Structures are given as structure tokens and as C-alpha cells.
Amino acid sequence: MPFPAERPRRLRRTPAMRRLVSETTLEPRHLVLPLFIREGATEPRPVPSMPGVVQHTSETVRKVVVEAVEAGVGGLMLFAIPERKDASGSAAYDPDGALNTAIREVVGEVGAATVVMADLCLDEFTDHGHCGVLAADGTVDNDATLDAYRRMAVAQAEAGVHVVGPSGMMDGQVGAVREALDGAGFADVAVLAYAAKYASAFFGPFRDAVESSLTGDRRTYQQDPANAVEALREIRLDVDEGADMIMVKPAMSYLDVVTRAKDLVDVPVAAYQVSGEYAMIEAAAANGWIDRDRAVLESLTSIRRAGADIVLTYWAVEAAQRLSRG
């Protein structure tokens, strides 16, 4: 064999050399922390399938958001578990409902120092667990659901949210939300569109976290995991309707979609490292099968390398603290 003229290993010899030529950065500002707030809770409730994640009380969530800001995390994404559910998910747009109350409390605590986001979907609030209002035949009524999303968007804006995250995968949801916000005088509230959200098995632990009432599945509105071109169509439509940022969810099993999204649009691209992705790493580490700390940062770096500007992850605070320590 001829002597190799090119020796890529020269650039891997030392930590300093590897740092010098590193292509992808991962910084605390890139990370967003999802949080669950349980209405009426007097103490945090652990989520069994997500080690280290809890349903917060109104008191404990204040402490966590302060810690997140101190760690330099880029933002917070709020979810709520209400005490009352009904067929229309009316608690979602009740000004004194669980989520809107949590938004006001978090914004009051750290709103000037970080970006407060809120999930905009009915699934946590409906007694049937679907992301929209049901028609008489049991299917999700797309356009009736848009009316609920409009009300939910305005309620969240009135509570002080900075970014709404429509995640129900209804046709026209971004345009409906943008129109409602602008019409109510909230033109400055941004929209992070869950533009490519797949009907994924990796959402399982999340449904424990929000105590989902779902029976059946969401395949008539969430995307088929086999499809990537369809995702690009969804992303293009959401940007055309006024999305300020778009999201791919889940992240790690859809890194190809993240890359194609980044190439397609000129708005920030987010990716959500979902509950199942989190739980798999935690479970493997608990069994001694992988190095947990390395796996956490490697997984987050891979999402950034694929093109995500923003990564939603349950490790946001821990990772930010470790990154800050170098």
C-alpha cells in the first residue's frame, strides 16, 4: 500500500487540537427545558418512566426556572396537567386554568431573563386525550379545533407568554393562531410551529407525564414515520402561514428531517428530544450499558450537528451546567 499522503488523525491528536477544529457547538443558549406543572399539587410527583423528571407544583416550578436561568438555558416550554378535563378541553383557554396560571407565575418570576414558551394543544385538557375537538363520528374536527386554538393562543398571550407552540398538527393551525394573536393586539408574540410532528412510539413516557386520557392513536393528524417529503410540505405551509420558528419532533430518529428542514427554510429550526429518547438513555445508563454523561452530550450534539438551532431536552439544565463548567 502506498504511504498515505493525507493523515486526518493529525487534527485529533490533542484536546486543544480537537477543540480548535470542532465543527459543531453546543451551548446553554441552544437548550430549552420542558416543564410539567400539575394543578393543585402540593408536592412534586415523579414521572416513573422519566427518571429525574417530575410534575411540579407552582412553588417548585419557580425554583426550577430560576435555576434554569442561572444555568444560561435559552428558554422554557410549559405544559400543564389540569384537575378537570372535558370533551372540548375548555380548561386550555380558561384564564385561570392550569397552564395560563403557570405562564403568569413563570413570567412573573423569570420573564425578563429568558424566553417563556407554552404548548398550544388540547390533548392534556380533553377527556378523550385527542389534540382537538371531536366530531359526531369520533374523528377530530380540524376546523372546530382551530377555533379552540385561537382562544387558547389569546389566553396564553394575555397571561404573558413570549412564544406559543401549536403542536396539534391541524391543517391551518399556524395561520389561525397568527390571525388570532394579531387581531387581539399580540403581534409581538412569536409562533413556534410543531411543523413536522410524527406519530411516534417515542412519545410514550410523555403521556405518563401529562396523564393523557388518550384511547386509540393520532395517526390521522400526526405524520407517518415513513414520510420525509411530506414533512417538508408541512414545514413550508407553516412558514407561509407565519411561523417564526419551526420544530421537528421527535429529534433523534428524525435527524434527516431536521437537516432537510434547515436547508429548506430561513427561520430557526428546533428539534424536540422527546421523552422516549430521554428514557432510553437513562435506562441504558442505569443498567451500566452506556456512559450516561457522554451519551447525553453526544445526543444533544448530534441534534445540533443535524442543523437544529434550538433543542428541547429534559437535560437542559444539567447539560447547560456541565457545558458552563467546560
Domains, the chain, with CATH or none = 26-325 (3.20.20.70)
pTM over 0.75: yes
d(CA 12, CA 49): 38
Predicted confidence at residue 1, as pLDDT, reads 64
pLDDT single digits (tens) 84-106: 999 999 999 999 999 999 999 99
164 touches 218 (CB < 8 A) = no
Question: What is the amino acid identity at position 314?
Answer: Y
Predicted confidence at residue 206, as pLDDT, reads 74
Count of CA atoms in the C-beta half-sphere (13 A) of 132: 26
**Closest by CA position to 277, among listed 325, 323, 311, 310:** 311
Catalytic hit among 63, 85, 249, 262 = 249
In DSSP terms, 245 is beta-bridged to 192
Q: How are beta strands 245-249 and 269-272 bridged, if at all?
A: parallel
Quick check: is 197 catalytic? yes
d(CA 122, CA 145): 9
d(CA 213, CA 211): 7
**Cα distances (angstroms) measured from residue 59 to each of 65, 80, 316:** 10, 14, 20
197 touches 223 (CB < 8 A) = yes
201 touches 276 (CB < 8 A) = yes
| Residue position matching grid coordinates 437535560 | 315
Quick check: is 262 catalytic? no
Rg (CA), the chain: 20
pLDDT under 70 in the chain at which residues?
1
Catalytic hit among 63, 85, 197, 262 = 197
Predicted confidence at residue 207, as pLDDT, reads 77
68 touches 33 (CB < 8 A) = yes
Q: Which helix (H) or strand (E) holds 163?
A: strand 163-166
Predicted confidence at residue 205, as pLDDT, reads 81
Predicted confidence at residue 221, as pLDDT, reads 87
- Angle at which helix 316-325 crosses helix 58-71, to 10 degrees, equals 30
Predicted confidence at residue 3, as pLDDT, reads 74
